Amino acid sequence: MVAVERLVQAYRAFAGNGASGAPAWLKELRDGGIARFGSLGFPTTKQEAWRFTSVAPIAETTFELAHPASRIPKLDAIQPFLLGDGPRLVFVNGFLVRSLSTPLSDGVRLDGLAQALVDTPDLVRQHLGKYAAFAERPFAALNTAFVRDGAFVHVAARRKVEEPMQLLFLATTPTETNGVRLVAHPRNLIVLEREARATIVETYATLGDGVHWTNAVTEVVAGDGARADCYRVQRESDRAYHVAVTDIHQGRDSTVHVHAVSCGAALARHDLRGTLAGPGGYLILNGLYLLAGEQHADHHTAIDHATPHCESHEYFNGVLDGRSRGIFNGRIIVRPGAQKTDSKQTNNNLLLSRDAHADSQPQLEIYADDVKCTHGSTVGPLDPKALFYLESRGIGEVEARRLMTYGFAAEILNRMDVEPLRAQLDGIVRARLAE
């Protein structure tokens, strides 16, 4: 409770100071967030959704709320995380750094949320907080309390954006902040109006290798007939804590592809929810977690088939080495009346060491009778039959193991269309295998 009280006090300071100029509706939203967090508190492993993941390390560490960075990182320092020269927003500790960013306006808006609250407050108000419900999610409630900056993407109806837009979230560590451990609450809102099309790449990374906490929330709206390709890469320091919620709301005949890769942080939790709110929607969740050492990553996904004639495909692969732990919980909800739903889910976990551990929990809740829903999951070491097959072709055991492990990750990466990102991730996978 001490930790919760500390955060509530931090909120009071925040509300009375940096956030005091906010419009009434936003103050109300924030107040609602902190009130809910105050009553929920940090989740415990007694709660079903947190059974395998203890957040005690977060609750027991003192984090200070980040402020806009006084020192701007050099372009060289962020280059390894960038995808070429395309449009981008760069954030440090959750705040937009305009000098490193290339905002867009005119049909496609790409800017900080704080700026959007000034420029287009009605548009933000229309969507902010409408999808990422926080009644049962303490971290989303906490993020909502501290809503201030993050990415705002708005694509006008029928507008098609060819180039991927990158949202790069960098965190600094105690070596740069006189020993202070920071928490950032980036809040992202991505809105594609009807028949719009865009590709967004969210990247979370750390400058250095120290401790920090990211508590992110991203809301994505795909209007009728829109197509959104959302990539998310979490490659923070292996001492970082990363908690995130992504909520996707899809209109009629919309298509959303989500690609989520998690290879960083000591403790990572990602709640990813897609709601197919209009008939004819199509959703792909394609995810990879690549863990080693003492890393712990927990993915809770939910696909809500709220309307008929929607299709969803979910593929999550985990590669676990060392003493790492991976959790996958995949919920599929088919609402009453959501007939002709077609939903497939697979979760495969590769254990590279005897001390690695994976939990895979499919969870189907089907309330309609004319539907196709399948799921499958595996947890285990490399298949000895496949190993022999490769060896029988002249490939030595060490190389055969590496090849199969690579393939396990590549299966997910190969579904990605943004080539520079796929290549970047391919490099990360290969570097991990070479260790």
Positions touching another protein (CB under 8 A) are 348, 383-386, 388-397, 399-400, 403-404, 406-412, 414
- Answer whether 320's CB lies under 8 Å from 291's CB: yes
Q: How far is the CB of 348 from another protein (least distance, A)?
A: 8
CA–CA distance, 245 with 256 (Å, rounded to integer): 17
Q: How far is the CB of 391 from another protein (least distance, A)?
A: 4
Q: How far is the CB of 37 from another protein (least distance, A)?
A: 41
CA–CA distance, 289 with 298 (Å, rounded to integer): 9
Q: How far is the CB of 345 from another protein (least distance, A)?
A: 16
Token reading at 178: 């006189």
**Angle in degrees, 0-180, between the axes of helices 397-413 and 419-434, rounded to the nearest 10:** 150
Residue 55 has φ and ψ, to the nearest 5°, of -100, 15
- Answer whether 339's CB lies under 8 Å from 311's CB: no
Q: How far is the CB of 243 from another protein (least distance, A)?
A: 29
Q: How far is the CB of 380 from another protein (least distance, A)?
A: 13
CA–CA distance, 412 with 287 (Å, rounded to integer): 7
Q: How far is the CB of 393 from another protein (least distance, A)?
A: 4
CB of 4 or CB of 404, closer to another protein: 404
Which ranges of 52-197 does DSSP label H, i.e. alpha helix? 56-59, 75-78, 113-119, 121-127, 138-145
Count CB neighbours of 326 within 10 A: 30
Report the DSSP pairing between strands 151-155 and 108-112: antiparallel
- Answer whether 318's CB lies under 8 Å from 289's CB: yes
The full 3-state SS of 274-337, as one line of letters, equals: EEECCCCCEEEEEEEEEECCCCEEEEEEEEEECCCCCEEEEEEEEEECCCCEEEEEEEEEECCC
CB of 157 or CB of 395, closer to another protein: 395
CB of 373 or CB of 412, closer to another protein: 412
